[in-house]
Amino acid sequence: MAQERPDGRVMVELVDPQGNTIGLAEKLEAHQPPGLLHRAFSVFLMDDENRVLMQRRALTKYHSPGRWSNTCCSHPFPGEKPRDAVTRRLREELGVVPASLEPAGLVTYDVTDVVSGLVEKEFNHLFVGRAGADLALNPDEVDDVEFVPLAELDAWLDEHDHTAWLSAVLDSVREPLARLAASPVGS
């Protein structure tokens, strides 16, 4: 289940349009034009005041450095369940264990970052939940975070440079976020 090969290459799962694994590719290769459809995940966590935890990617990242994005997004290790990958990456990037975490659907998109030319052609597993206790940011992954009220998120995004894929995942997760916001905290 290792994502990194002995030669240091990081691998992702290639999938067909239905999400069936059809092979592996090196992560950077999968993001080169025209892009290779691969498995990914995106998670949006809110605090008890229904503010969405947004992260500014580390300035040293090869893809979209210094841009704002959702709470966490990445790729499962080959063979790793997306939910397991979410909890692993939340710990690695933000030092947080979610208080709750629920699947919120799937979205497939094909977007090109106009700055880098890298392509996000992803079969993306979506999750929403409640943030746990204190954060411990990994500076290699995250430059900054901000909790943004759900009702103000669109206006906030209009004022902040964000990742090319954020609009696609946010549009697909709006309804699950609204349901989470309407549910009593702790339920």
pLDDT interval class at 132 (50, 70, 90): confident
pLDDT interval class at 1 (50, 70, 90): very low
Residue 156 has pLDDT above 80, yes or no: yes
**Structural domains of the chain in order of their starting residue, each with its CATH number:** 11-174 (3.90.79.10)
C-beta separation of 16 from 123 below 8 A: no
Q: Is the pTM of this model over 0.75?
A: yes
Q: Which two tokens stand for residue 9?
A: 């290459």
72 a catalytic residue: no
pLDDT at position 62 is 82
Determine which one of 13, 72, 73, 120 is catalytic. 73
- Express as a percent the part of the chain with pLDDT over 70: 95
Determine which one of 80, 93, 120, 122 is catalytic. 122
**Phi and psi dihedrals of 45, rounded to 5?**
-110, 145
**Mean pLDDT of the residues in the chain:** 93
